[in-house]
A and B are shown apart, each in its own frame.
Chain A
């Protein structure tokens, strides 16, 4: 490995280094507060390193990784998500757990895993990233082991994730068997005709594995339980970083093997997208648990993302990136409010706990409203621009049925997003937890972070041009562009 290789991998190295460093700090028996702050700083450093490596993009690190604009963009999102989760975690864990320090190590590891995924261009790297992420998540989900739901969620996630990993691995093995290559771009078949059933089977099994991670129908059933059972910050992380990384690698994989020309696969994906949008929205319809609502909503949103994904052209790439961005921001702010609202014993799950939030704490209520409206795709918010982008992509390539399904299902979705907002301005219950007073600094920081997220939602809704240009720029320096476009 050359110096340049190391240079290109700086963010990953920083992340793994941070994990080690935090571990050492824990050994030094430093307080939660210090660990939190130092991990915050480390996150910021890792995040800034992304800008630092801009100039050498795109860059191939051996056969395993490619550091290009697209990858860096997704890594940026992932680290950003880790950063936000980190900021919001202090109060949440301080109230609940005796030793919340290891949590930060795991957070770094998971971030690392998702980042590795986003940069990988090889089965081994893919597997590695996926497992770093997943194994970390097992622990994170069950982190608050005192709670019943945590353990239940943990074991469900563990069994299912391992189960799906097995599918993924078997699929990879089949493809490897068929093509003799583990690096994505080497397994490009000359023509679709020469492909055997074995290859398709392999691809199908990989879809099962990836489908689980993305939580699309029919592999969505775990989502709600895990979202509900996991600590709210972890849920936020699962909802964003883990899905973003997996989607990135899926995209990279498909572009590399030009999977868009395999009609059975694309047909499958189309069905999955359609069913995910419909089922996701329907499942959330009268759900009263906010975390479960967000879980089902994420199912639908993954469906939307697949709609953008399916056309498989440059615009679809941009749409996916843009939507991921808006989805990250939105989901993080939604969960952010949940985290802030959560009390000592339980998360603020039931939407009744949000009654009258508008009058009691307008700031949080506004941010949650923004998030909900954004998820619903109402103009003025990021979600609308994102959805607009997706619709444009779909229509440009003539995927009218998908576009129509997207529209109709998001109408169903409207109902439950509105229910959350409605809950916030009805009733008179005071549910603001008291401990906010104890951690004024962290509370303020948290609110600041949330406000920034809220502002970003609006900013993306009103003036998305900067981000769109930024994404186009990032994609220009993407390896995957040169190979197939």
Chain B
């Protein structure tokens, strides 16, 4: 397998995506966007796995990526269900309004 892109570059991209995701989670107030950013982080990890797998020439990285995808899907489905409930109850998707429990 010949790779035209070096592992470092891909890892850099993955890292960037990951940081982007973190930033998104931290700065967005809308729950949907937060969920989205988390997905970006997960995908960044997936990407990192693929890169790592590529480096060692093993399929394990890609296997892992598929697992990650599946899990992300499951997560999003539950997440969206919850978000529906939240909207139902609070009429808002602003995460900062959801702070009834504290102390």
Among candidates A148, A151, A159, A176, residue contacting B60 with C-beta atoms closer than 8 Å: A176
Cα distance A214–B100 when bound, in Å? 23
Is there contact, CB below 8 Å, between B25 and A163? yes
Q: Are B78 and A158 in contact (CB under 8 A)?
A: yes
User: What residue of chain B has the Cβ atom nearest to residue A229's Cβ?
Assistant: B101
Pair A176/B49 contact, Cβ less than 8 Å: yes
CB proximity of B95 to chain A, nearest CB, Å: 8
Q: Are B42 and A152 in contact (CB under 8 A)?
A: no
Question: Is A152 a contact of B98 with CB atoms below 8 Å?
Answer: yes
Asked whether B102 is an interface residue with its Cβ less than 8 Å from the other chain, the reply is: yes
B93 shortest CB reach to chain A, Å: 10
Whether A215 sits at the interface, judged by CB under 8 Å, is no
Shortest distance between the CB of B36 and any CB in chain A (Å):
11
Name A177's contact: one of B55, B75, B78 (CB within 8 Å). Answer: B55
Binding site secondary structure of chain A: helix
Q: Which of A124, A138, A158, A165 contacts B64 (CB 8 A)?
A: A124
A153 to B101 Cα, complex, angstroms: 9
Q: Is the CB of A177 within 8 A of B98?
A: no
Which residue on B lies nearest to A286, using beta carbons? B103
B74–A151 contact, CB under 8 A?
Answer: no
> By CB atoms of chain B within 10 A, which of A145, A151, A170, A172 has the most?
A170
CB of B103 within 8 A of CB of A177, answer no
Nearest-CB residue, chain A, relative to B42: A166
Interface contact A177-B7, CB-CB below 8 Å:
yes
Closest to A154 in B: B82
| B85 engages A151 (CB within 8 Å) | yes
Roughly how many angstroms separate A287 CA and B101 CA in the complex, as a whole number? Answer: 13
B74 lies within 8 A of A135 (CB): yes
Determine whether the beta carbon of A155 is less than 8 Å from that of B31: yes
From the candidates B46, B55, B103, name the one contacting A169 in the complex (CB within 8 A): B46
Q: Which of B55-78 touch A at CB < 8 Å?
A: 55-56, 58, 60-61, 63-64, 67-68, 71-72, 74-75, 78
A174 and chain B: residue at smallest CB distance: B48
CB distance from B26 to the nearest CB of A (A): 10
A145: nearest chain-B partner, CB-CB: B85
Chain A residue at minimal CB-CB distance from B47: A173
A residues near B99, Cβ cutoff 8 Å: 152
Assembled-state Cα–Cα distance A154/B56 (Å): 39
For B95, list chain A residues within 8 Å (CB): 155
Known: A139-B78, A155-B83, A173-B14. A123 touches B64 (CB 8 A): yes
Q: Could you tell me the distance in whole angstroms from the C-beta of A125 to the nearest C-beta in chain B?
A: 10
Complex Cα gap A458–B14 (Å): 52
Cα-based distance from A166 to B35 in the complex (angstroms) = 12
| Distance, CA A322 to CA B12, complexed state (A) | 44
The answer to whether A225 has its CB under 8 Å from any CB of chain B is: yes
Check B67–A127 contact: CB distance below 8 A.
yes
Task: Name which residue of chain A comes closest to B83, CB basis.
Answer: A155
Which of A153, A154, A169, A176 has the most chain B CB atoms closer than 10 A to its own CB?
A169
Are the CB atoms of A151 and B86 closer together than 8 Å?
yes
In the complex, chain A residues whose CB is within 8 Å of the CB of B55: 177, 180
Query: Which residue of the partner chain A has the closest CB to B31?
Result: A155
Q: CB within 8 Å of A: which residues of B?
A: 7, 11, 14, 18, 21, 25, 31, 34-35, 38-39, 41-42, 44-46, 48-49, 51-53, 55-56, 58, 60-61, 63-64, 67-68, 71-72, 74-75, 78-79, 82-83, 85-86, 89, 95, 98-103
In addition to A135-B74, A165-B71, A177-B51, 7 A-B residue pairs with Cβ atoms within 8 Å of each other are A135-B71, A138-B79, A151-B85, A152-B99, A166-B38, A166-B45, A177-B48
* Interface residue ranges, A against B (CB under 8 Å): 123-124, 127-128, 131, 135, 138-139, 142, 145, 148-149, 151-156, 158-159, 162-163, 165-167, 169-170, 172-174, 176-177, 180, 182, 224-225, 228-229, 287, 289, 292
Return 7 A-B CB contacts under 8 Å, by A number. A135-B74, A149-B100, A154-B82, A158-B78, A162-B39, A170-B41, A173-B14
